[in-house]
Amino acid sequence: MKSGLIFFCGFLLGVILTAAAAVGLGIAYSSGYLTSDYAADGTEAAEAEDTGITYAEEWTEFTVADKFKVIEVLEDGAMAKCEDPDPFRSISDIERPSTFYGPEVYIMTSGKNLFYDDQIVEVPAGQKAMQIGTWRFRKYSSEKVVPVIVFK
Share of the chain above pLDDT 70, in %: 76
Share of the chain above pLDDT 90, in %: 34
Same domain, 90 and 146: yes
pLDDT given at position 114: 86
Checking if the pLDDT of 152 tops 80, the result is: yes
Checking if the pLDDT of 145 tops 50, the result is: yes
Is 110 in a helix, a strand, or coil? coil
Average pLDDT value over all residues in the chain: 80
Same domain, 9 and 60: no
* 148: exposed, middle or buried (Cβ count in 10 Å: 0-12, 13-18, 19+): buried
Checking if the pLDDT of 42 tops 50, the result is: no
Cα 118 from Cα 70, distance rounded (Å): 5
| Higher pLDDT, residue 116 or 51 | 116
pLDDT per residue as tens digits for the range 65-111: 889 999 999 888 899 999 886 666 555 555 666 788 888 999 998 77
Same domain, 24 and 70: no
pLDDT tier at 141, thresholds 50, 70, 90: confident
pLDDT given at position 75: 82
**Residue where a domain terminates, one of 45, 61, 77:** 45
Same domain, 51 and 124: yes
pLDDT given at position 106: 94
Q: Domain of 21?
A: 1-45
Domain count across the chain = 2
Q: Are 119 and 70 in contact (CB under 8 A)?
A: yes
